[in-house]
Structure 1
Amino acid sequence: MRILNICAYTWQSGGPPKIIFDHTEVVLRYGHQVDILSPVSPGEKPYPVPEGARLILCRRTPVINKFFREFSIELYQYLKKHAHEYDIIHCHGLWHFGTLAPFMIDRTIAKVITVHGVLDRWVYAHNNWKKQLMDSLAQKAYLQRADLVQINNTDEQEDVLRYLGHVHPNLVIIPNGVKMSDFATLPPKGTFRRKFGLPMDKKMVLFMSRLNAKKGLDLLLPGFREYVRQHPDTVLALAGPDDGYEATARQFIEQHNLGESIRMVGMLTGDDKKAALADADLFTLPSYSEGFSMAVLEAMAAGTPTLVSDRVGFGEVIREHKAAGLLASLTPASVTEGLEIVLADEQLRQNIARNATALLKKQYDIDVVAKQLLDEYTRICKKP
């Protein structure tokens, strides 16, 4: 098969590029062809591409892109010229040009849309007027026309039903996966702390995601402030690129004199990310909304115990496997309580880490979930 993924494939885009990368490595091993078509703006850094795949970069169109996400005349021109060369066009997300353009151009090639959590009530309520405008232009109709809609969990199944007003005829639940072998060997403990000047003698809580309002930083910061008042032997590392919340976080830290207790270390990649997970006593993401958090999966794969909200995309699974992670409600007090419980008990942290790793090997290894999606590709390509 010849597969085209359409996604903003940059480091600044969060989880989808990593998901595409890992899936592509598996799909290439099965002998298929994979291209990635990505709108890009000046200054953005493209995400790495697996050997054997091809990345096609298209410049976003200035001015229009401010009002119409990912708008790119070059992307449209590429699809107009080359869409017929592919068996599958896989669009990631909704309400941006890359998800609309393939449907505008062609009716014959099989099209897949991965929702990536954007129909969650919290997400849908933000910039709602723009989304309603896009719906009226055809986004809802194009989602209905998709040959396959991939979702990550049962919550998203309800989101799609609420959005469309009826059941989509071809919807499949396939979770994100993680390449467990990437975390089999981690940097020696202390590597991250030494590089970023964090104390060796304090417990370290790690937040690693985009600095965005939906990630629950308005819960984590005050929750950690209350915790550290009683436990000054703890430091919180905030790792991630700014996505609209960095200034607010810095203001909070300064206002409450938390400069020694909360450190902002920027976006981490490669060995720095693995070193942070190796050094962390606890990973936390009290997010309001996630499609299926790659950050949480990677923390679990690295053997780092987790304290997360039930909105990370597989909260239901964590709740069923209680020993694989601790869930916090969407309040600062619940975050504080979770920190108290997990950081006070080293044996509990070890049990959480061990059980989480076992759960991932069984259900979320990338070889398992990528093959599920590949089988769905094959099925829709064979449809009459």
Structure 2
Amino acid sequence: MRILNICAYTWEIGGPARIIFDHTTEALKMGHEVDILSPMTPGDEIYDVPTGARVIPCIRTTPVSRFYREFSVGLLGYLRKHIQEYDIVHIHGIWHFGSLAPFLVRNRVPKVITIHGLLDEWAVNHHKWKKDLVTLLYQKSILAKADLIQINNADEEKNVIDYLGFRPKNLVTIPNGIRMDEYQNLPPRGSFRQQFGIPEEKRLVLFMGRMNIKKGLDLLLPAFADYLRENDEAILILAGPEDGYLAETTKFIAENGLAESIKYVGMLTDTTKLSVLADADLFVLPSYSEGFSIAVLEALASGVPALVSDRVGFGEYIRKYEAAYLTPLTVDGVTEGLSIMLENDSTRAAYAKRGREMVAQNFDITQVAKKMLAAYSSVLRS
């Protein structure tokens, strides 16, 4: 099977790139061929590419791409020449040109769309006028024409039904997954603290994700400041690429004199990311909207207790397993969660144990990738 993924395959995009990487790795093992068509801006850093896969970068065409995400004449040109060479085209996300382009080219290749949480109420209301326009022009018709719509959970199912006004027959629920074996042997505890000068007596609270308001930073920052008024034996590490909220974050830290208690370390990769997971006492993500948070899965797989919202993409699993502390989306709620989790070692240990069990039993990438490939095959048969 020849598979073409369409996604901005860069470090800045975060979770979707990691998802494609893991699925591609498994597909290659099973003898399939995978290409990744990636609209990019000059200077973007391509995400790691599995050996045997191919990334085809297409420059975003300005000034149009500033207003219409990922618009690329090169992307459209590649599809016109080559789309018929593939058995499956897998489109990651909606609202952007990459999701429209395969439908502008005459072809009969089956198309799969992964929603990635982009029909969540918060996501739809963000830049709502643009999404209303895209809906009016084509978005609903594209979803109706897709051969398969992949969702992660029951919340996304409801979002699709509410958006279209009916339940499409081509809807399939397949969760995201991660490689559990990557998180079994972490670096020695203390290496991240030593590298960044963090005292051993400070409890390390880790936020790992794009610096975007949808991640709940407007709740986490004041909540952590409130917690410090009662107990200053903690430090918050903010790890992730800038995505619109770094200036507000920096301003908050300066205005509240928290430069020693809240540190932004940028995006962490490879060994450094594993070392911060090894050293973290608590992972936090009070997000308003996630398709399916790979960062939360990574933390839980690493045995890090977590404080998250139920909007991270698999809230029903977290409730079933009591795998993480679920916080309400308020400053007071996050503050209370920080107090409960940071001041009770046995509570954190119990959450960590249940969280790792949840990931191992439900989200190992080997099993998840097989489900995705089986879904491709069912589309081809039909």
TM-score, normalisation: structure 1: 0.98
3-state SS of the aligned residue for 2:144?
helix
Quote the residue 1:6 is aligned against.
6
Structure 2 residue aligned with 1:55: 55
Distance 1:129 1:215 in 2: 21
Q: How many angstroms apart in 2 are the aligned matches of 1:280 and 1:15?
A: 20
CA deviations over 1:108-151 (Å, ceiling 9, x no partner): 11100000000000110011111121122212101111000000
Distance 1:319 1:358 in 2: 13
Distance 2:201 2:92 in 1: 43
Q: CA deviation at 1:341?
A: 0.8
Deviations 1:304-359 (A, max 9, x none): 1100001000112111211x111000001111111111111112211211111111
Partner of 1:297: 297
Which residue of structure 1 lines up, in the alignment, with residue 354 of structure 2?
355
2:161 paired residue number: 161
* Partners of 2:205 and 2:352 in 1: CA distance: 15
1:245-256 equivalent positions in 2, closer than 5 A: 245-256=245-256
Aligned ranges for residues 11-30 of structure 1 at < 5 Å? 11-30=11-30
Residue of structure 2 equivalent to 1:204: 204
Rounded to whole Å, the distance in 2 between the matches of 1:258 and 1:182 is 34
Corresponding residue of 1:80: 80
The residue that corresponds to 1:345 in the other structure is 344
Task: State the match for 2:326 in structure 1.
Answer: 327
Work out the CA distance in 2 between the residues paired with 1:101 and 1:118.
Answer: 18
Unaligned runs of 5+ in 2: none
- Matches of 1:74 and 1:262 in 2, distance apart? 42
- 2:232 is the counterpart of 1:226: no
Runs of 5+ in structure 1 lacking a partner? none
Alpha-carbon distance in structure 2 between the residues aligned to 1:336 and 1:133: 39
- Letter of the 1:350 counterpart: A
Distance 1:231 1:262 in 2: 14
What is the match of residue 312 of structure 2? 312
- Separation in 2 of the partners of 1:193 and 1:53? 36
Stretch of structure 1 that moved more, 189-198 or 9-18: 189-198
Aligned to 2:214: 214
* SS of corresponding position for 1:138: helix
| Counterpart residue type for residue 312 of structure 1 | V
* Local SS of the residue matching 2:122: helix
SS at 1:5 equivalent:
strand
Percentage of pairs with the same residue:
55
Instruction: Give me the whole-angstrom Cα distance separating, in 1, the residues matched to 2:166 and 2:288.
Output: 25
Task: Provide the rounded CA distance (Å) in 2 between the counterparts of 1:57 and 1:195.
Answer: 35
CA separation in 2, counterparts of 1:290 and 1:12? 16
SS of 1:105's equivalent in the other structure is coil
Secondary structure (helix, strand or coil) at the match of 1:339 reads helix
Q: Distance in 2 between matches of 1:379 and 1:129?
A: 37
For the 8 Å contact 2:83–2:107, the answer to whether it is kept is no
SS at match of 2:316: helix
Report what 1:279 is aligned to: 279
Match for residue 125 of structure 2?
A: 125
* Per-residue deviation, 1:107: 4.4
CA contact (8 A) 2:307 2:337 kept: yes
What is the SS of the residue equivalent to 2:104? helix
- Cα shift readout 1:166-210 (whole Å, capped 9, x = no counterpart): 111110111110100111111111111111222222001000000
Measure, in 2, the Cα distance between the counterparts of 1:108 and 1:327.
Answer: 45
The Cα shift of 1:68 comes to: 1.1
Write out the 4+ residue segments of structure 1 that deviate beyond 2 Å after TM superposition. none
The one-letter amino acid of 1:265's match is V
Aligned residues: 382
- 8 A contact 2:84–2:107 mirrored in 1: no
Q: Which residue of 1 aligns with 2:240?
A: 240
Give the Cα separation in 1 of the matches to 2:158 and 2:265: 37
Q: Deviations over 1:273-309 (max 9, x none)?
A: 1111110000000000000000000001111110000
**Residues 317 and 358 in structure 2, CA contact (< 8 A), matched pair in contact too:** no
CA distance in 2, matches of 1:319, 1:183: 23
Please say which of residues 98-107 and 243-252 is displaced more in the overlay.
98-107
- Please tell me the residue identity of whatever aligns with 1:60: R
**How far has the Cα of 1:258 moved from its partner?**
0.9
Q: Secondary structure at the match of 1:175?
A: coil
